[in-house]
Amino acid sequence: MLGQGQYDIKTVSLSKDVVQSIGGFRVLQDYDIESIPNDYEAVILIGGMTWRDENAKQVKTLVEDCYEKGKILGGICDASAFLGTVGVLNEVAHTSNDLNNLKQWAGSIYTGEKKYIAKQSVRDKNIITANGTAHMEFAKEILLALNVASEERIVDL
């Protein structure tokens, strides 16, 4: 952490190769999955369909580490369902794109159905989840969890 409410944002991917979104947005990561430093405050997983690929399983160790250390952990869209496949949604209130889809994809690892809330975004403890249409609500919950500014200022954004 740099100062109260100030963070140095870094990007991570499975490799250090340039990643291009379907919209043409190009990103060169700061770290690959093997070189992430241990001193981080949060892991925020972006949405998209690649969470269902075999390669996504490489992120599981990072998610488990973040969860076990009590760090802020967020997932939007299919990334929220990926959190269900790792088991981190079982004990916290959460949301995703669809409960039935989450249950089907995560299988027996996911036991948190009673904690599922059909809402745009949910923050419980240090876990933040959102459905794929809730980018603003997700961002708000991340800012609040990181305490980057007063709640009044964040809500007014």
Q: Which residues pair with 10 in a beta bridge?
A: none
Catalytic site residue from 72, 77, 79, 130: 77
The answer to whether 66 is a known catalytic residue is no
CA 131, CA 138: separation in Å to the nearest integer? 9
> Position of tokens 């409960």?
99
Q: Which residues pair with 121 in a beta bridge?
A: 130
Complete edge-to-edge strand list for the sheet that includes strand 42-45:
42-45, 72-76, 127-130, 121-124
Q: What amino acid positions are annotated as catalytic residues?
A: 77
